[in-house]
A and B are shown apart, each in its own frame.
Chain A
Amino acid sequence: MPERLGAVWVIAELTGNRLTEVSLELLGKARALAAQGGGSHTSAVLMGNDTGSLAEELIVHGADRVFLIEDPRLALYQNDLHAFVLADLIKKHHPEIVLFAASYCGSELSATVAARLGTGLAAHCTDLRIDDRGELVQVVPAFGGTVLGDIFCRETRPRMASVKPGIFPKPEREATRTGEVIKETAAVLEGYKSPLKAVRIVRRQPPELPLEKAPAVVAGGWGVGAEGWHFLEKLAGELGGAVGCTRPALDEGWAQSEDALIGTSGKTVRPRIYLGFGISGSAHHIVGMKDSGVVININQDPDAPVFRISDYGAVADAKEFLPVLLEKIREHKEE
């Protein structure tokens, strides 16, 4: 183990030829952890093919150093190839902390690398901080977010954590920030014949206004019903927002796609305003919207648990109330 304190690393993630937002969100947190004594500085790791131009993006969002590995074998994400390269890089540079996106690929890659290195990994962290003993405190949700638990990794290094998109704020872009780009190779893959083959990636066009970027989220649950759902779309349109949903509404096919799902198995949103209809307030859903600005919920049950996490609540039948609200907004806009 080296004497000097290692860095805090962020494993940058790509979607097509762009960086994902969560990669940048992680850089903000990595810098904060380094400032709290968790590491000497902040580094990002960028693995791909023809991705060098993105290194600058990582620097202006907080990376002091970028390890750049460009190789045709890394053009498509594949857990064994990426894990080989990353584990090798970690052994060479000894970071203190390594942060991953808790996306589908990031979860898989982090678990794979943790097993190869025999080190600790905390999944889906909702908070990360350095305590007064210098330990990294990793806060993870359990039971769908009903309970939070602190996780430590006291003996092994690096300490690794994954974080879902939308948990930490994206740092401001600092156009004048400078950093160092260090080229590394995927030489560790020489002679390795992968038993797997990534054939292709198929992505739908993400919606014009992704849920996680919408200033207003109009969320619907089981209580809205098939016949009430179109009102939600109209309301979201009026507010320049997007429609979100709970799992029952998705399972029923009322919501357009799983991109609308908010919560444990879906997205984390923090809009300026969250307006929920016919949602009971299960922990699985709340964990994905609790950091919203103003929270309003409409439910016909005065004892619905969702009211406890709302700034404002109203007891009403969602299907009957939605057209009244739409009418009021129309009146207001005409004034």
Chain B
Amino acid sequence: MKIAVCIKPVPDPNHYNKITVNPETKLLERKGIPMVINPVDKNAIEAALQLKEQAGGKVVLVSMAPPDAREKLTEGLAMGADEAFLLSDRAFAGSDTLATARVLAAGLKKIGGFDLILAGAESADSGTSHIPSQLGELMGLPHLNHLIELNLEAASLKMKTKIEYGYAEYEGNLPMVLGVAKEINKPRYTTLMGVVAARNKPFTIWGLDELELDPASTGLAGSPTQPGELHLPRHGRKAELLEGEPGDIAGKIVAILRAAGVLV
């Protein structure tokens, strides 16, 4: 079984409080924030590795990212994936989700022969959750997102996806494109042996030419949406500190609760 996992390096979500917008240049300031594999993409890698353990085969990582993403893909190889492809080109910069899905689809088609394509349900930085569905559409394959359970029997899949207050059950056949939610599994830890082995695993970088993509179909030019200005949310409040003994503070809070009408 040949399984692709689409992964994305993102700034570490534990540091998002440090991200800001320069008030003059209006550009994002995120200096010093380390990059990590998008957290739920690790669940996708884990799901792929478990399927490989069950059915045999190969796990291939694919990422559209700047050249320095090699390090993150290598981390995925260290978890146990067999091969990695980095789709990287200046022409891809500014891609929205549809243009990103076009690049990923071109890479996946060129590698070819996949029985299953997995991705994380959403990214921590932009968090649209569009990619699994849009990739499925562009690949011409059935797709589901927010998968919390996946069972493979022969070539047929039994799946559960997350919905508000519950789940939906689906049946389908390979090949498919699936976006996984973090509830699906617990990603394994990387072993030292895995790290050593990762260095010798095949790693390929492809750009616009190798993917035979029309520059007008990717990057900013190929994106139906265009980004405008960045701003910071305004939610400053008066931040009045309630002081005194705990009993006094509690008394003040009771008065506020009464004024708000939740306590008579």
Contacts and interface: CB of A to CB of B under 8 A. Distances in A.
Contacts of B257: 216, 239, 273, 275, 329
B224 A156 contact: yes
B55 interface: no
A80 B225 CA distance: 23
The B interface is mostly helix, strand or loop, or mixed, namely mixed
A143 B125 contact: yes
A241 interface: yes
Contacts of B252: 312
A56 B239 CA distance: 45
The A interface is mostly helix, strand or loop, or mixed, namely mixed
A123 B262 contact: no
B187 to A, nearest CB: 14
Contacts of A294: 256, 259-260
A199 B130 contact: no
Interface stretch (B45-53, B76-84, B205-213, B226-234): B226-234
Given A114-B130, A124-B128, A202 B246 contact: no
Interface string A50-90: 00000000000000000000000000111110000000000
Given A120-B225, A143-B125, A147-B19, A111 B133 contact: yes
Contacts of A155: 224
Contacts, number: 270
Interface string B137-159: 11000111110000000000000
Most chain-A Cβ atoms within 10 A of its Cβ — which of B132, B144, B168? B168
A151 interface: yes
A107 B122 CA distance: 11
Contact of A328 (B230, B250, B262): B250
A111 B97 contact: yes
Nearest to B142: A195
A275 B251 CA distance: 14
B145 A107 contact: yes
B227 A308 contact: no
Contact of A286 (B235, B253, B263): B235
Most chain-B Cβ atoms within 10 A of its Cβ — which of A77, A155, A204, A313? A313
Contact of B16 (A119, A146, A201, A296): A146
B217 to A, nearest CB: 10
Contacts of B241: 307, 312-315
Nearest to A112: B133
B240 A311 contact: yes
A147 B260 contact: no
Interface in B1-25: 11, 13, 16-17, 19-21
B133 A79 contact: yes
B154 to A, nearest CB: 15
Interface stretch (A31-39, A175-183, A225-233, A316-324): A316-324
Contacts of B163: 103-105, 201, 203
A160 to B, nearest CB: 9
Interface residues of B, number: 80
B31 interface: no
A27 B68 CA distance: 45
Given A111-B134, A272-B261, A103 B145 contact: no
B249 A147 contact: no
B34 to A, nearest CB: 14
B98 interface: yes
B169 interface: yes
Contact of B224 (A119, A137, A259): A119
A123 B128 contact: yes
B263 A206 contact: no
A313 B130 contact: no
Contacts of A1: none
A173 interface: no
B189 interface: no
Nearest to B217: A118
A123 B122 CA distance: 11
Interface stretch (B85-93, B170-178, B192-200): B170-178
13 contacts: A78-B170, A79-B133, A104-B163, A111-B97, A111-B128, A120-B224, A123-B97, A146-B20, A196-B144, A199-B171, A200-B169, A201-B166, A321-B249
Given A112-B136, A273-B262, A311-B238, 19 more contacts: A79-B144, A112-B143, A121-B97, A140-B126, A143-B11, A144-B127, A146-B16, A151-B225, A155-B224, A196-B144, A201-B167, A201-B168, A239-B262, A310-B239, A311-B240, A312-B240, A312-B253, A321-B250, A328-B251
